[in-house]
Structure 1
C-alpha cells in the first residue's frame, strides 16, 4: 500500500499498514525502507515527521541522537539523513531490530548503533555517553513515556541543552516530563500528541 501519506491515521493501528517507511529529507530523501508487520509497531507518519523535523531544523546536524523505541527507525534514520553525527536505535522486538540492521546496511550507514533490548532497562543504567537529541515514541497504552523520560534525566543520558521529542496518545492525561524540561513545541495530530522539550 502506498497511500499512507494521504491517510496518516492508518499508521496508528497496532500493525504497520504498509511494508515500508520513507525518508522525507536530507541526503537519503525519497528512499523507502522495508518494515516488518510487528505488533505494536507504529511508524511515525510522514505528516507528523515533517512537523517534528521542521521543529528540529537547526538542531539535527552534528547531534548525537538516541531513538528509545526505534520500531521501524522512522525518526532515527530521518535524523541520520539530515546529517546527525551518530544515532543509537533501541528496539526490543527481535524481528524489528534485525530489520533496522538491514536497513542501516541498505543506507550504508557506519554511524548507527542498533541495540536489541528493553529501552526502559537501558536508560535505567548510568549513561556511558550523553545525547543532544532524544526520541521517545513508545507503543501506545503501555505507560512507558514517563518512566523513560525520568530515567533519561536521572541517569545523565542528556547533554546540557538536550532536546527530547515525546510522542504519546492524544488523550493521554498521565504523561509528565521532568521539572527542568521546558515545553518548546506542541501539536496534536489525530491520535498523536507531539511534544518537544528542551532541557534546562
Structure 2
C-alpha cells in the first residue's frame, strides 16, 4: 500500500496487522480519487474525514493532495497503531485528528466537512447508518461530498442522499453521494 499522488506520492503506508480491517486497494483508491478530483477540481484546503479508517489511507491520500485537515476515526486498536505510525512517517500530525472510537459514537461538530469518506465493513449497512447520523450531527451539509465503499452487489440505501456516481472496482462498489436538495 502506498500514497498514489501529491506531495507524498509513492510513500509506503503500513496496513493494520491481522484481518480485522480490509484496507482499500491502491487501484480502488486511485479510482475513488479520480472520481472525486473530477468533481472537486482540487483538494486544496479541504476539511475531510476518513471514517472506518483502517490504515488511514483515504485521509492521508487527501492530505497528500492538499487537504488542510483530516479526522481519522477507527475503533480497532491495531488499526489505530497503523494510523499513528503512518501519520508519524509522513510527519503530518498537525493536520490529523485521530479518534479511537466507533463512527456511530461521534458527537456533533460546529460546521460540516467538505468531504466525508466511509469504508465500513462490507454487508453491514453501517455506512448508511453512519451517514444518516452524521448528517443530523452536522458533519455533512449541503456542500459536502460523501464517498461510500461497499461490496459489489450491496446497494447503499441512504435516504437523505442522492447518488451522484457509482463505479465498480474489483470486489468494491464506490458510490459518491450528495444530500438531497
When the two structures are superposed, what TM-score results if normalisation uses the length of structure 2? 0.91
- Matches of 1:132 and 1:59, distance apart in 2: 11
Question: Relative CO higher for 1 or 2, CA cutoff 8 Å, sep ≥ 6?
Answer: 2
1:89 and 2:69 correspond: no
1:177 and 2:158 correspond: yes
Corresponding residue number in structure 2 for 1:53: 33
Q: Deviations over 1:63-118 (max 9, x none)?
A: 10011110011111100100101000001001111221121111010201111111
- Matches of 2:143 and 2:53, distance apart in 1: 22
- Matches of 1:60 and 1:120, distance apart in 2: 26
Q: CA deviation at 1:127?
A: 2.3
1:193 and 2:173 correspond: yes
Pairs within 5 Å for 1:25-174 = 25-57=5-37, 58-109=41-92, 110-122=94-106, 125-173=107-155
SS in 2 for 1:135: strand
Query: Is the contact between residue 90 and residue 119 of structure 1 (CA under 8 Å) also seen in structure 2?
Result: yes
Pair 95,40 (structure 1): closer, same or farther in 2 beyond 3 Å: closer
Query: Is the contact between residue 17 and residue 78 of structure 2 (CA under 8 Å) also seen in structure 1?
Result: no
Query: Is the contact between residue 146 and residue 176 of structure 1 (CA under 8 Å) also seen in structure 2?
Result: yes
- Matches of 1:35 and 1:189, distance apart in 2: 20
- Number of matched residues? 176
When the two structures are superposed, what TM-score results if normalisation uses the length of structure 1? 0.82
More helix as a share of residues = 2
Query: What CA RMSD, in Å, does the superposition of the two structures yield over aligned residues?
Result: 1.5
